[in-house]
Every structure is written in C-alpha cells, then in structure tokens.
Chain A
Amino acid sequence: MWIDFLRRAFMQAIPLLFGSTGEIITEKSGNLNLGIPGVMYAGGIGGVIGAFLYEQNAASINPFLAILIPLLCSLALSLLMGLIYCFLTVTLNANQNVTGLVLTTFGVGIGNFFGGSLVKLVGSDVPSINLNATSNYFRATLPFADKLGWFGQLFLSYSFLAYLAIVIAIVMAVILKKTRVGLHLRAVGENPATADAAGIKVEKYKYLSTCAGSMIAGLGGLYYVMDYANGVWSNDGFGDRGWLAIALVIFAMWKPNFAIAGSILFGGLYIIHNYIPNLDVSGQELFKMVPYVVTILFLIFTSIGKSREAQPPASLGLSYFREER
C-alpha cells in the first residue's frame, strides 16, 4: 500500500512540478503570472487537438509522430498564451494580476470549449474524443521496470514526460543559480531599473522567461491528459491543479529543485484522503483542503520569520517602464 501511495503521489506531482517550475522562472523575472492555470489547460487541449487531428487523418499511426505532433501543438498553444501575457504586461505595461486572471478565464475557456466541441467542429462522426492510441505511446515505460520489484515500481515505472519534468526542474535550478543568464534574470526580477542600468535587456529577459515558463507549465497539462487521464479529455477535469502549482512556488521558495520535493509532498496531500481508513465522503472533502492550509501556514511562518531565503523577487507583480525610474 505504501508503494502504491507513493507512486500515485508522484503521478499527481508531475503536473504540479511542470506548473510550478514554469511559474518559478516566470516569477524570477518579476512577472506574477496568475494565468498559469489557464496556460496549463491550453497546453493540455493543444495536445488533444494535435493528437485528435493526427489520429483522424493519418492512415497508420507512426509512434514517433504520435508523440511529436501533440507535443508541438501543446508547446505552441502555451507559447501563444505566454506571448499574450507578455505583450500586455511587458510591452503595454498592463496590470499583471488582472491580465493573469483574464488569461486563466481565457485558457480554461479554450480548454473546455475545444474539449466539448472539437468533434462537432471537425465534423467527425466519432461520439467523443478518445485518444487511447496516442495515450499509449505517451505512457510507454521502460520494458524492464516490472521485473525489478518495488524498486522498479517506485522509480522506473513512469512515462518519459515524468522524467522530463524532473530534468527540466534540475536544469532550471542550475541555470538560475550557476549561469550568467540566470544571474541576469534574477537581477531583472529583483530590480529592473538597476538591471537596465547595467545593460541587461529587461524586456528580452521578461519575454524569454515568461514564454519559456508558459511552455513548461503547458507540458503539465499535456501530461495530465495524455498520461494521467489516459487520453480522455473531461471538461474541468484538470481542476484546481494550476492554482496548487502557484501555491507550490511559495512552498519551494522560488527554487525549482525544492519544487521537486514539494510537488511530491503536495501530490501526496492531494490524494491522502483516499488512504485514510474509515473516512466518510464529507470527511474526505475536509481533507482536500490540507494542501491549501499547509501553504497558508508556510506563508505565515516565512513572513513572520522574515526568512531571507523565502522571499519573492522584489519587483514581483510590478511592471517596469523605463521613463518612470
């Protein structure tokens, strides 16, 4: 039962990890993108659209293309969402909170709209979207994982996107901490005016990090549909994971490597109500608030303790206009 619990917690953790890694590098540039839940929906539906069109039109399904096409569609749609956010907040100096919230409405709308109407729009005769074939390629695991007992089950039994999430988080942590690009990015997030004076192109960094962050977050949506949900899109199925990913950013103290552990913890908290014996349905609902309560407590402790490690980038949420220095 423990192995089963940990395995499930890890599978819940992957979308959260993608989302929070994306949001961390976005926030490091000073952009508080509250549109991440929408971006993740868009990433998910992008993959669904790509896979659906490919499955409908291809005579025989090539495993390589079956993964590549949804992946590219997902990345393209989440990139578009990131660009909308950047254009409004960086180029047009719009309010970040409002833009982010509209982006969430928009993205969730796009997800549910195409999820519900794609079949009709394409004029296809299938009753509903079911991407089992594509999903099977996405869920392919290492062939020898089953033979290695609990070790194989716990560490090797996931699909490639799951490992990609961890690799991306580690790479981003290294980039942020060890490279010049990371240093510049942090400078932009802490104090854009100073960064600008030092010759760092503030707008370029904001665009780059926000768009890259959106694409990473979008992969979380893709993982959810193709892997976790077996290629079946259900409206609002992704739920509030996007907001949980934003909460996780605080919990990880803006460090992608901490987000790995944090996401597994949150994934566990997200499903813990299934593993508590003798719990009735109403009790389960109470347990579902645990991740949010934990985040609030963490937020309170870090702010009371004034821990310097756990502070957000100084210019988070503020737009930068050169003439206002």
Chain B
Amino acid sequence: MAQNEQKVKEPLFHIAKRSSIVWWKAWLIRLAVILVALMISGLVSFLLTKENPLEIYSVIISGAFGTERRIWNLMQNLAMLLCISIAITPAFKMRFWNIGAEGQVLVGGLASALCMILFGDKLSNPLLILVMVITSILAGAIWALIPAIFRARWNTNETLFTLMMNYIAIQLVAFFTYKFSVPKGSGQVGIINRTTKAGWLPVLGNQEYLLNILIVLIVTIGMFVYLKFSKHGYEITVVGESQNTARYIGISVKKVIIRTMLISGALCGIAGLLLVAGTDHTISRDTVAGRGFTAIMVSWLAKFDPIFMILTAFLVAFLDKGAAEVSTQFGLNRSFSDIIMGIIIFFIIGSEFFIQYTVKFRRKEEA
C-alpha cells in the first residue's frame, strides 16, 4: 500500500502564525533587530563618509546628549513628536487611517498664530492665551471632523481624504503668511510679538521647554487612562477589531468614529499650539516638519500603547538629532538622518513578522 501513496514534496520551510509569544521574547527580537539595523546604518555611513563607524556612533550620541542644551532640545523634539503620536493613536486604534495629522497640527498652529497677530495688543495675556487654546483646539478638531463625518456617513476613503486636507492646510498657512508677512511681501511672519511676548506660553523655571514637556506628559498619561480604563476606550478597541461586532453589541460605529476623530484632532490642535506659542513663536508651512507622518510610525511601532510610545518617540527623536549631528560634523547633507531613520524603521517593521509568525523548517525524514 505504501507504494500507492503519492510522494508530496514538502517545501524547505513554511510559515505559521504564532498563537502567542512571551513578552520578553518579543522584545528580545526587537532589540536584536535594532542592533542589526544600527550595524547596517553604521556600515552605510562608513561607505558614504569613510569615517570610523565607532566614531560615527559616538557623534550620534554626543549630538543627542552632548550638552545640557542638546538634551533639552532632544526632550522638546521628543515631546512634540510624542504629542502628535498620542493624538493620532485613538484614531489608528479604531483603524481610521488618519494621515492628516500634519494638516491638523498646522491649522491648530495657524489658529494660535493668527490670534497672536490679531489680538496681540487688544487682549490681556491670560485672556489671549485662553482664546488661543480654544481656537487652536477647535481648528484641529474641525480639520479632523470633516473627513470623519464623510467616512462615518458615506464611507469615504479617509486615508486619501486626510492626505489631501494636509495640502489645503499648508496652502492656507502660505496664504496667511503672505498676508501678514513682516516685512511686507517677504512671505514670512517672523517672530510674532517679539517685544511684547503677547501670547507666548509662560516659561517655567527658566527652562524654555519645560511647560511643553509637562503638558505632553499629562496628555500621554491621560490618553493611556482613556484608552485602557474608559468605556470610550473599550468602544474604540471593538470598532477597530471588528465593526460588525461593534454594531452587534449596540455600539454606534458612526458616533465612535466622529467622537474619536474629534479628540484626535483636538489633541493635534494642542500640538500646534505648543509648536507655535510654546516653541517657535512663528508659523510657516514647515512648522510641523513632517512630524505628522513620523508620528504614524512612532504610534504604530509602539502598538498604539501610549506608554511604549515614549520609548519609540525617544528612539526616533534620538536618531534624528544624532544623525543631524553626523551630517554637520562630516559635512554631509541634512537628509542623511532620513536615510538612517528609513533603514532602521524598515528593519523594525520587518521584525514584527518574526514576532507574529514563526518559520518552521522541514524536519528530516525518518528513515
């Protein structure tokens, strides 16, 4: 009978989904992958600069932590990136692909900049800041609400809708920067209220960025609690996992989508406020500087967990600062950091595969 059995060729290996993985194993895989990625990017840097890779790494570290000022700068960048990542997280958790954070932050910033320009000498400072907070939150929320309503009501593709909203926001900013440019016609608004400092967020304990960092910390913890312990957070998770299940157990999917995007947009508005009133004191089309897109990677890498997001945002902010230092030290273009960041994130994205799936090799046939 054995002869009749057809010989089936078994492939060398096949891939199967893991049912579960111990958390430390998952983090071990991630750590190993980041190390490999760092080695590869060291190699790439070496090929491009012909400098000692170890020296490149030490420049990266000193670029991020070298002086007290650099550390504060790093913390500020980390805080801004984290704030936007936190803002988009609830939307992503319900599988609403909001890639319009760039625009939502920008209109938030634009709203506060306009308040600073228009009401700078009309309102008292606390009142002005209150107005700025309200308008920037509203602006961000409205910018997110528009695609959310169409998605909820007519299932309009949100990825492309939010993407297009970014460019409308950018052109709006370009319009207003020409309108209020100083000097006239230069297309730049310059530092707003340089002498009166009207509308500038207060400085805590001589540290320019401390207030921003504290606000972002509060937002992060708030989001963690909101997603983990509130009814809303639970509804977001259910809608993200399966809209049909959500409908079946009586969750109004439309309501959840609109409510979550309102929160997401409002937080983006706050990020815009912090960038304009708390950091730059000016606005341009590059104020957000691609953070709206980087935040998506940060949020996704942390598996939409706000606490882990501190770690992933740190990784990205650190690499960015470090690679920027490499490019100035070795006379390379500033975009060097984008290449290094790209390589490392490609590796991390790839590593998720080995956490979710396992490769099983063909077993030796028994003789």
Contact = CB atoms under 8 A, between A and B. Distances in A.
Contact of B157 (A109, A113, A303, A304): A303
Q: Chain A: interface secondary structure?
A: helix
Interface string A297-320: 001100110000000100001000
A92 interface: yes
Contact of B338 (A108, A243, A250, A281): A108
B324 interface: no
A285 B353 contact: no
Interface stretch (B51-59, B116-124, B164-172, B267-275): B164-172
Contact of B349 (A99, A250, A288, A292): A99
A240 B346 contact: no
A109 B171 contact: no
A11 interface: no
Given A286-B175, A296-B161, A296-B165, A116 B353 contact: no
A217 interface: no
Q: Chain B: interface secondary structure?
A: helix
B172 A105 contact: no
Nearest to A296: B164
Interface string A110-141: 11110111001100000000000000000000
B160 A84 contact: no
Contact of B179 (A88, A121, A282): A282
Given A101-B296, A121-B48, A247-B164, A282 B175 contact: yes
Contacts, number: 160
B297 A102 contact: yes
A252 interface: no
A93 B156 CA distance: 25
Contact of B174 (A109, A288, A304): A288
A289 B167 contact: yes
Interface string B317-334: 000000000000001111
A304 B339 CA distance: 41
A94 B155 contact: no
A299 B352 contact: no
B252 interface: no
A9 interface: no
Interface in B146-181: 150, 154-157, 159-161, 163-165, 167-168, 171-172, 174-176, 178-179
A112 B333 contact: yes
A32 interface: yes
A25 to B, nearest CB: 18
A33 interface: no
A247 B350 CA distance: 28
Contacts of A300: 150, 154, 156
A1 interface: no
Interface in A50-108: 84, 87-88, 92-95, 97-99, 101-106, 108
B190 interface: no
A96 to B, nearest CB: 10
Given A105-B290, A312-B157, 12 more contacts: A87-B350, A95-B300, A105-B294, A109-B341, A112-B335, A116-B333, A282-B175, A282-B176, A293-B164, A295-B164, A300-B154, A300-B156
28 contacts: A92-B352, A92-B353, A97-B99, A97-B159, A98-B296, A101-B99, A101-B293, A102-B297, A102-B345, A105-B342, A106-B339, A108-B335, A110-B335, A110-B339, A112-B335, A116-B332, A285-B175, A285-B178, A288-B171, A289-B168, A289-B171, A292-B167, A292-B171, A295-B164, A303-B150, A303-B156, A304-B156, A317-B159
Q: Which A-B residue pairs are the 7 nearest by beta carbons?
A: A109-B338, A106-B342, A116-B333, A282-B178, A112-B335, A92-B353, A289-B171
